[in-house]
């Protein structure tokens, strides 16, 4: 492809409007995630507790904006001020949970439709990460960690409010903290936010901003479709294992076990120090 044409395509991607198609895809996949989380109890729960289900679904859909505003000291409910977006999300929620003969749920679960929605949502995610980094940079120009954190939260807010949205449905799962076992979307959002910060605040990336943005979009879409179609779940895992083995004590634990044996576990759960012979 001609470089100028490629750059023009990248510029067009940066100017894409999210409403209504990208917002619809995002809302659909969020509602599907809520329904799949309910599993076999989705039908009785949706009939008995429609308000709790709606609140839970809206919290997942608008999670990134709500949580980012909470952390930045801005109005928490500001993401809900767009009536058109809220109405679209509510219509999608209704179709997935209450459409006759479950047509809405089956439609969005149909693999070709789900693949299209997943691709659109990843473009939406890249936009949210970029907007989060840009907004945080205006408030805290030199706080790189804040920029990365807000970008990651905007990109995968649903993962960070999982405890809260389940609590709306009367389920308490404190072990579902995203920091314990972050999923691929969170890791990818952190990486994308880091790239945007480096691009915005340093001269290390010489490529035009549109190309950097387009590269992040391609990265998101490629690995999401690979997950759906090829079963590739998390390409970060090998690098994480290598890093933990080298820098987080893995090598030293192996050396310790080799020369001193495995440390014994006491009754209170604490690990006792091995004694040298």
Whether the CB-CB separation of 274 and 263 falls below 8 Å is answered with: yes
Q: What is the pLDDT of residue 1?
A: 66
Q: Looking at 52-56, 96-100, 161-165, 227-231, which range is the least confident one?
A: 227-231
Within 10 Å of residue 146's Cβ, how many Cβ atoms? 18
User: What is the C-alpha separation between 154 and 7, in angstroms, rounded?
Assistant: 26
Instruction: Give 28's Cβ-side CA count (13 Å radius).
Output: 24
User: What is the C-alpha separation between 128 and 26, in angstroms, rounded?
Assistant: 11
Which of 133-147, 238-252, 262-276: highest mean pLDDT? 133-147
User: What is the C-alpha separation between 252 and 155, in angstroms, rounded?
Assistant: 36
Q: What is the pLDDT of residue 268?
A: 52
pLDDT over 90 percentage in the chain:
75
User: What is the C-alpha separation between 59 and 66, in angstroms, rounded?
Assistant: 8
> Quick one: tokens of 233?
């779940």
DSSP category for residue 73: T
Matching residue, tokens 């809220």:
86
pLDDT single digits (tens) 157-174: 999 999 999 999 999 999
pLDDT single digits (tens) 114-157: 999 999 999 999 999 999 999 999 999 999 999 999 999 999 99
Q: What is the pLDDT of residue 247?
A: 86
According to DSSP, the residues that pair with 265 across neighbouring strands are 271
Closest CA to 67 of 136, 19, 142, 121: 136
pLDDT at 232 over 80: yes
Do you find a cis peptide bond into 131, omega within 30 degrees of 0?
no
User: What is the C-alpha separation between 257 and 13, in angstroms, rounded?
Assistant: 53
Q: What is the pLDDT of residue 231?
A: 85
DSSP category for residue 271: B
DSSP category for residue 262: P
pLDDT at 2 over 90: no
Q: What is the pLDDT of residue 122?
A: 97
pLDDT at 13 over 50: yes
Report, in angstroms and rounded to the nearest whole number, the Rg of the chain calculated over CA atoms. 22
pLDDT at 274 over 50: no
Q: What is the pLDDT of residue 248?
A: 83
Alpha helices in the chain (DSSP H): 3-14, 21-38, 42-48, 50-61, 63-72, 83-98, 103-109, 111-139, 144-155, 157-160, 162-168, 184-201, 209-230, 237-247, 250-260
Matching residue, tokens 């505003």:
69
Furthest-apart CA pair in the chain: how many Å?
A: 73
Whether the CB-CB separation of 29 and 158 falls below 8 Å is answered with: no
């Amino acid at each position: 492809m001609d470089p100028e044409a490629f750059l023009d395509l990248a510029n067009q991607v940066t100017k894409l409007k999210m409403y209504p198609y990208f917002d619809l895809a995002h809302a659909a996949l969020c509602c599907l995630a809520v329904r799949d989380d309910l599993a076999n109890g989705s039908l009785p729960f949706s009939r008995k507790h429609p308000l709790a289900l709606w609140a839970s679904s809206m919290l997942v859909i608008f999670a990134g904006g709500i949580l980012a505003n909470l952390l930045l000291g801005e109005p928490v409910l500001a993401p809900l001020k767009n009536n058109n977006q809220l109405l679209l999300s509510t219509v999608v929620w209704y179709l997935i949970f209450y459409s006759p003969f479950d047509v809405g749920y089956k439609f969005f679960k149909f693999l070709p439709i789900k693949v299209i929605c997943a691709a659109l949502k990843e473009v939406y995610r890249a936009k949210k990460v970029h907007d989060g980094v840009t907004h945080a940079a205006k408030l805290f120009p030199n706080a790189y960690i804040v920029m990365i954190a807000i970008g990651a939260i905007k990109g995968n807010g649903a993962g960070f409010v999982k405890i809260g949205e389940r609590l709306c449905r009367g389920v308490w799962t404190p072990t579902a903290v995203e920091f314990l076992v972050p999923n691929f979307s969170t890791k990818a959002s952190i990486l994308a936010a880091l790239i945007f910060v480096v691009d915005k605040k340093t001269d290390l990336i010489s490529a035009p901003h549109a190309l950097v943005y387009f590269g992040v979009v391609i990265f998101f879409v490629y690995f999401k479709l690979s997950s759906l179609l090829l079963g590739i779940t998390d390409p970060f895992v090998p690098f994480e294992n290598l890093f933990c083995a080298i820098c987080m004590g893995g090598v030293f634990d192996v050396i310790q076990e080799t020369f001193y044996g495995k440390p014994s576990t006491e009754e209170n759960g604490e690990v006792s120090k091995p004694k040298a012979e």
